[in-house]
Structure 1
């Protein structure tokens, strides 16, 4: 070994975006995170607002989880989080409607008291209180082994993409 070198360089922690089906801040029926991971272990999770997630994931606002400033919704083809129209280059969204459907993965009925005129529709869970075993098996593909787990990194964006895919939703709701 050359003089002055004691071994391989130290590993650095990496940051990723995360999505959980657990209710979180601001009466959201899901929680969004920046997740700090070191050597395959989660060592820190910082909740973030829906607005922060959308802006950071698009690369508009600086983020440790998106240091390149790439539009991760575009990269992972999350259609409900992309502008619509013929020329969308350089256009961004302030919000992403896919988040309005995340609660449906966990609940049968909307769990909060509805405000007059509010119609969120029915949830997709097969059981009143939680997803069925079959549905939980589908969620394991995104790193959600238990209901309170966090889908991280690419898995989080694949989940967001699939929640916007009617064929995936149909399979989640009814099974084939």
Structure 2
């Protein structure tokens, strides 16, 4: 009777019947956010993604819009990459993209203007046609439509070997002065 009880506990409790048969549990894939310098949804000059990763290998990617990226990163919308609904901009002290609460307790939500400058990493001038009088400025790229080999070397620290690669995880974007000259 004692053996039967022990066997039942071992089977139901997941205990190994012998020390040599124990195997570690399989690792779980996780989701994270990703950004690419390739043009994306809704005429954006960059692309946003949800990226499924297992042991540093990308298993799949799901493109999302800038708006979805910003809302999910802030924890305002349910996200596979931010299941705890944490404001990741606040966590990583990205002041330009944080939600600000004023003295009256009102929350001011911006569209993360920092993302508006991502095009500068890839282009040396704004690539879209501008209306009369509009001026966006110059990009930081040393070549017209892609970063130079020297700049790609800097971007490789952030997971980008090619302009179409996806930077995933919590790496910071390189600072403009170091990148641009």
Q: What range describes the TM-score normalised by the shorter chain of this pair?
A: 0.7 to 0.9
Q: Secondary structure at the match of 2:178?
A: helix
Q: 2:142 aligns with which of 101, 126, 129?
A: 126
Question: Contact 2:121/2:139 (CA < 8 Å) preserved in 1?
Answer: yes
Count of residues in correspondence between the two structures: 165
Give the alignment of 1:58-77 within 5 angstroms: 58-77=74-93
Which residue of structure 1 lines up, in the alignment, with residue 31 of structure 2? 15
Matches within 5 A, 1:37-116: 37-83=53-99, 91=107, 93-116=109-132
Given the superposition, is the C-alpha separation of residues 66 and 85 from structure 1 closer, same or farther in structure 2, using an over 3 Å criterion? closer
**3-state SS in 2 of match to 1:154:** coil
> Structure 1 25/53 Cα, relative in aligned 2: closer, same or farther at 3 Å?
same
Supply the distance in 2 between the matched residues of 1:123 and 1:54 (Cα, whole angstroms).
23
Alpha carbons 1:56, 1:62 under 8 Å: kept: yes
Residue number in structure 2 paired with 1:165 = none
Verify the 8 A CA contact 2:97 2:110 in the aligned structure 1: no
- After superposition, where does 1:129-140 map in structure 2 within 5 Å? 129-140=145-156
Once the 2 structures are TM-superposed, how far is the Cα of residue 116 of structure 1 from its aligned partner?
3.6
CA positional deviation for 1:121? 1.1
2:3 corresponds to which residue?
none
Looking at structure 2, the residues matched to 92 and 60 of structure 1 have their Cα atoms a distance apart, in angstroms, of 13
Moved more, 18-27 or 70-79: 70-79
Deviation at 1:76, TM superposition (A): 1.6
Structure label with greater radius of gyration: 2
- Contact 1:17–1:35 (8 Å) recurs in 2: yes
Gap regions ≥5 residues in structure 2:
1-14
Q: Could you tell me how far 1:99 is from its partner in structure 2?
A: 1.1
Q: 2: distance between equivalents of 1:90 and 1:17?
A: 28
RMSD over aligned Cα, in angstroms? 2.4
TM-score normalised over the length of structure 1? 0.83
Displacement of 1:33: 0.3
The question of whether the paired residues in 2 share the 8 Å contact of 1:55 and 1:94 is answered with no
